[in-house]
Homo-oligomer: A and B are copies of this chain.
Amino acid sequence: MGDQQEKDALFDALAEAAKALGNGRRAQLIDILGQGERSVDELAAEIHQSMANTSQHLQRLLRAGLACSRRSGTRIYYSLASPAVERLWRALRETAEAHSGELGDLVRAYVGDRADLSMITRDELLVRLRQGDVVVLDVRPQPEYEAGHIPGALSVPFSDVKSRLREVPQGTEIVAYCRGPYCLYADEAVRLLTDEGRLATRLEEGFPEWKATGLPIEQSATARNSPPRP
């Protein structure tokens, strides 16, 4: 007890969790799982990797205690092990952002110029919701909407926005949201809607931040008969 070997083992174990996050593909998986549980093939498609590789990454997350899985028939659904993992992921992003330069350039390269986009904060959205003068649009892929969304939001995945324009109420301002600040779905949706003459704005952050604040969430009845975890 109290010797160097045990101390090293303790810190090695802590580092193990960090290592699990220390790979771009696994970081992406954690980011996606922050939206709710997904099957291996969905995840493989999202991160553009082979099933075998994705499976191996997921098992690494499992071993590190960052994710957990459940079987449902022939599919296996992965999800984050606990809200602590989401906090860890958010802390990592904030730390990297504070390291000004590097990451900022990469974000700018990926998201492009957002100067043309109208943005709204969570607090502003809450005010507008109370006033009841906005329509909220969830433009993430369907399974993520089903796993949990902002109460009253309509699900129109970003790829369907153009074809399903008529389903979006007219004459009311639209607020689109997606996975988070690094996600482009809402950007695309807002640009498309604006081009069509609608008044559209994107929520600055995404669903996980909404959930993390403890705000109420809504789940689809069809959400793969997975009860919301305690």
Residues of A within 8 A of B (CB): 1-2, 4, 6-28, 31, 48, 64-66, 81-82, 84-85, 87-88, 90-99, 102-103, 106-107, 109-112, 182, 184
Task: Find out whether the CB atom of B82 lies under 8 angstroms from the CB atom of A17.
Answer: no
- Tell me the complex Cα distance, A65–B99, Å: 5
Partner of A102, one of B19, B28, B65, B84: B65
Task: Find out whether the CB atom of B17 lies under 8 angstroms from the CB atom of A19.
Answer: no
Partner of A19, one of B12, B19, B106, B182: B19
- Known contacts: A18-B22, A22-B18. The answer to whether A7 contacts B99 by CB under 8 A is no
Task: Find out whether the CB atom of B25 lies under 8 angstroms from the CB atom of A102.
Answer: no
Instruction: Report chain B residues within 8 Å CB of A27.
Output: 11, 14-15, 18
10 shortest interchain CB distances as A-B pairs: A65-B99, A19-B22, A12-B24, A18-B21, A1-B112, A18-B22, A91-B91, A11-B24, A6-B110, A22-B22
